[in-house]
Amino acid sequence: MSNAGKSAAAERLAAMNRTRKLAHKKLLDLDSPVYRAFLEMEGAAYADGALPKKVKELIAVGISVVIDCESCMQWHIGQAAEAGATEREVLEAVEVGIEMGGGPATVSARFALTVMGATFGGE
């Protein structure tokens, strides 16, 4: 990817982060009971249990590819990395998503690769 392409991808990811943070703050400021319940459910779902958080985040990465949710891919790739996932582990989760979603998921995976580059410092 060219420097201009990397810069555009980095800005797109930064804009997504800003939008996510603003929406999160707004929903908390509005004291949304549904959003608070969602955050509680999210905390419970990703807490270490029979499966560690890292594995759960990798599952979410694959699902995110299948449903073509760019914000989800960005969030869960970052969360997987913070939980100790390696770039190779994230790639394999993306590959599982490709297999489960077929051809359309290969298109979604392109965005996941962009996020991986930003998260792990690759291209």
Whichever domain contains 69, its CATH number is 1.20.1290.10
- Its pTM stands at 0.88
Check residue 66 and give its pLDDT: 96
What span, in angstroms and rounded, lies between the C-alpha atoms of 93 and 24? 26
What total number of domains does the chain contain? 1
> Over its length of 123 residues, how does the chain's per-residue pLDDT go in tens digits?
677 767 888 899 999 999 999 999 999 999 999 999 999 999 999 999 999 999 999 999 999 999 999 999 999 999 999 999 999 999 999 999 999 999 899 999 999 999 999 999 865
Cα dist from 110 to 8, 45, 86, 106, whole Å? 15, 27, 18, 7
Range of the domain at 10: 3-120
Check residue 9 and give its pLDDT: 85
